[in-house]
């Protein structure tokens, strides 16, 4: 497949790289990019005593876990997890006992903070179904009571398109009546409808590229298309904080994978230079293709890709660039067109543009966009195109409605108002949280706001206390984050009013004081 191969890439040899290591180290901002082009980001380190206490907390819980496992082994405590039947003891085990250690001894103690059932629209305010556990979170039962009017700070509803206003959804209802809700076929067979063609045209025009293709599932857009673009003899350079879908796609491709430090252009350049000099393992032949994989906004860190520097590097070393804009498309940029618009770069400089419709567009699915040759190739080679059902017509119409609203083609200014409101909410919330003394990560433009909690006990207490105050938050810990960097992740939305944010900030301030969560030394 030659779609992503630069004609002169295979001819790039080590002797062609006239860049000394010391010179590269001096220009940390990257080649051809001034420091002012990179937006302000903050990654304040925790005080030493916090890190020590965090490790100590995990150590104590682990020791108690081993003690409880001993009690289960001698029959003094009930085993609740799945286990092998006696008559299958000699078979290959289905359930690895030690691998479940974290689940049964650490996660199970705090499981009530995740997977809470909603019984309303996932808008700025939600309703939760109350549940309780009678066996320490091994099982739950619903009480029949509903917790009403909980402020939702966890959903990726960036532009507020997760809504049920009848006037806004009239066209979506019409398409459901006309097409039904399922296509029952793949895109290669009888699953391509005129509404899919219209959507792909709008997506390409919105992004400023030649062509696009849409898929019914965002995760599969990465995991099933990357193997169609690269394979054996190719090299993937992946940011260490890339999403699981990117990691899975890279592993399925069979390509060699190297990981570079998060947003570190110096380390990426070193990996590029070393890889080109050494070539493929054992044979030392030139790489068939080199693909750099990054995200627009990183959903756990709130950081933004250093796109101008990446483009300069990929041009210098004749590599290709794969940009995942799941969290950035619609959420950043004056017109909601993502990080290419935020940095003012030419979309044509990004070889593969990927994004999802599950966040800013209030729908489902994803897209791949770029040159027409690339998209035409994927139409015949992508596993998502060949083996998965086409996007549901009402979902496609919802995305069309959102794009027309964002671009103003619906005859209103509602879309641009939402984009500006999201940016205003993001700046306001980030500034207030910093002023309170919390440690937060990420870029000033990012609507993802991680607040560092660190200690496992405080993570649990924070989530439960905020829910008591009718604020729904998402807390994240190990293994989804480094062991010392557990956090609460707040997601801004254009649908949040200033009164809502002020209420959240008021309770956040009180809970932060009560639990001792204001670790910043920059107060």
Query: What's CA 498's distance to the chain center, in Å?
Result: 26
What value does the mean pLDDT of the chain take?
Answer: 89
The residues spanned by each domain of the chain are 43-152+413-522, 166-407
Q: Return the minimum-mean-pLDDT range out of 74-88, 98-112, 204-218, 481-495.
A: 74-88
pLDDT, position 35: 37
C-alpha–C-alpha distance, residues 75 and 79, integer Å: 8
Confidence of residue 99 (pLDDT cuts 50, 70, 90): low
Considering the entire predicted model, what is its pTM? Answer: 0.89
Asked whether residue 343 carries a pLDDT value surpassing 90, the answer given is yes
CATH number of 166-407: 3.40.640.10
What's the pLDDT tens digit per position in 46-82?
889 999 999 999 899 999 999 998 998 888 888 777 6
C-alpha–C-alpha distance, residues 74 and 72, integer Å: 6
pLDDT, position 518: 95
What's the pLDDT tens digit per position in 224-283?
999 999 999 999 999 999 999 999 999 999 999 999 999 999 999 999 999 999 999 999
pLDDT, position 41: 79
Contacts of 174 (CB under 8 A, 6+ apart): 397
Q: Return the minimum-mean-pLDDT range out of 14-18, 194-198, 408-412, 441-445.
A: 14-18
The two three-digit tokens of residue 462, written as one number: 């924070």
520 close to 512: Cβ distance less than 8 angstroms? no
C-alpha–C-alpha distance, residues 389 and 217, integer Å: 10
| Radius of gyration, alpha carbons of the chain | 25
β-pairing, 366-370 with 211-215?
antiparallel
Q: Return the minimum-mean-pLDDT range out of 46-50, 431-435, 443-447.
A: 46-50
pLDDT, position 72: 85
The three-class DSSP label of residue 291 is strand
Asked whether residue 168 carries a pLDDT value surpassing 60, the answer given is yes
Beta bridge partners of 260: 239
DSSP string, 404-437: HHHHTTTSSSHHHHHHHHHHHHHHHHHHHHHHHT
pLDDT, position 19: 39
What's the pLDDT tens digit per position in 410-420?
999 999 999 99
The two three-digit tokens of residue 291, written as one number: 């693909």
DSSP string, 170-233: HHHHHHHHHH-S---SBTTTT---HHHHHHHHHHHHHHTSSEEEEES-HHHHHHTTHHHH--TT
Report whether CATH 3.40.140.80 matches the domain 43-152+413-522. Answer: no
C-alpha–C-alpha distance, residues 110 and 461, integer Å: 9
Confidence of residue 315 (pLDDT cuts 50, 70, 90): very high
Name the packing angle between helices 170-179 and 393-407 (round to 10°): 150
What's the pLDDT tens digit per position in 202-225?
999 999 999 999 999 999 999 999
């Amino acid at each position: 497949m030659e779609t992503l191969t630069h004609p002169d890439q295979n001819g790039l040899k080590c002797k062609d790289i006239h860049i000394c290591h010391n010179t590269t180290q001096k220009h940390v901002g990257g080649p051809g990019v001034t420091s002012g082009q990179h937006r302000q980001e903050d990654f304040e380190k925790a005080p030493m005593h916090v890190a020590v206490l965090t490790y100590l907390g995990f150590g104590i819980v682990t020791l108690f876990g081993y003690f409880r496992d001993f009690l289960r082994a001698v029959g003094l405590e009930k085993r609740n997890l799945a286990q092998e039947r006696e008559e299958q003891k000699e078979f290959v085990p289905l359930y690895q006992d030690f691998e479940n250690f974290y689940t049964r001894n650490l996660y199970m103690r705090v499981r009530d903070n995740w997977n809470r059932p909603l019984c309303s629209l996932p808008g700025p305010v939600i309703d939760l179904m109350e549940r309780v556990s009678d066996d320490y979170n091994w099982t739950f039962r619903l009480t029949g009571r509903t917790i009403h009017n909980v402020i939702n700070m966890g959903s990726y509803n960036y532009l507020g398109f997760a809504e049920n206003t009848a006037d806004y959804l009239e066209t979506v209802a019409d398409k459901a009546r006309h097409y039904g809700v399922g296509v029952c076929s793949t895109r290669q067979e009888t699953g391509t409808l005129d509404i899919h063609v219209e959507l792909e045209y709008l997506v390409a025009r919105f992004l400023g590229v030649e062509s696009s293709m849409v898929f019914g599932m965002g995760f599969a857009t990465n995991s099933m298309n990357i193997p169609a673009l690269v394979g054996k003899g190719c090299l993937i350079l992946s940011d260490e904080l890339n999403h699981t879908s990117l990691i899975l796609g890279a592993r399925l491709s069979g390509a060699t994978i190297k990981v570079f430090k998060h947003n570190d252009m110096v380390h990426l350049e070193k990996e590029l230079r070393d890889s080109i000099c050494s070539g493929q393992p054992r044979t030392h032949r030139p790489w068939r293709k080199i693909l750099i994989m990054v995200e627009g906004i990183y959903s756990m860190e709130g950081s933004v890709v250093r796109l101008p520097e990446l483009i300069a590097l990929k041009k210098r070393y004749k590599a290709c660039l794969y940009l995942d804009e799941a969290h950035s498309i619609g959420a950043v940029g004056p017109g909601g067109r993502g990080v290419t618009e935020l940095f003012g770069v030419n979309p044509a400089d990004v070889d593969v543009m990927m994004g999802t419709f599950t966040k800013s567009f209030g729908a489902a699915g994803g897209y791949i966009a770029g040159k027409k040759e690339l998209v035409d190739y994927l139409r015949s080679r992508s596993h998502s195109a060949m083996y998965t059902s086409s996007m549901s017509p009402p979902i496609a119409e919802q995305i069309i409605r959102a794009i027309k609203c964002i671009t103003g083609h619906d005859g209103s200014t509602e879309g641009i108002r939402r984009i500006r409101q999201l940016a205003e909410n993001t700046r306001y919330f980030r500034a207030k949280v910093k002023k309170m003394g919390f440690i937060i990560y990420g870029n000033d433009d990012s609507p993802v706001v991680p607040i560092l909690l660190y200690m496992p006990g405080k993570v649990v207490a924070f989530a439960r206390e905020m829910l008591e105050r009718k604020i729904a938050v998402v807390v994240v810990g190990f293994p989804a984050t480094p062991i010392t960097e557990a956090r609460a992740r707040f997601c801004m939305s254009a649908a949040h009013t200033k009164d809502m944010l002020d209420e959240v900030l008021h309770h956040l301030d009180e809970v932060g004081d009560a639990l001792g969560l204001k670790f910043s030394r920059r107060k």
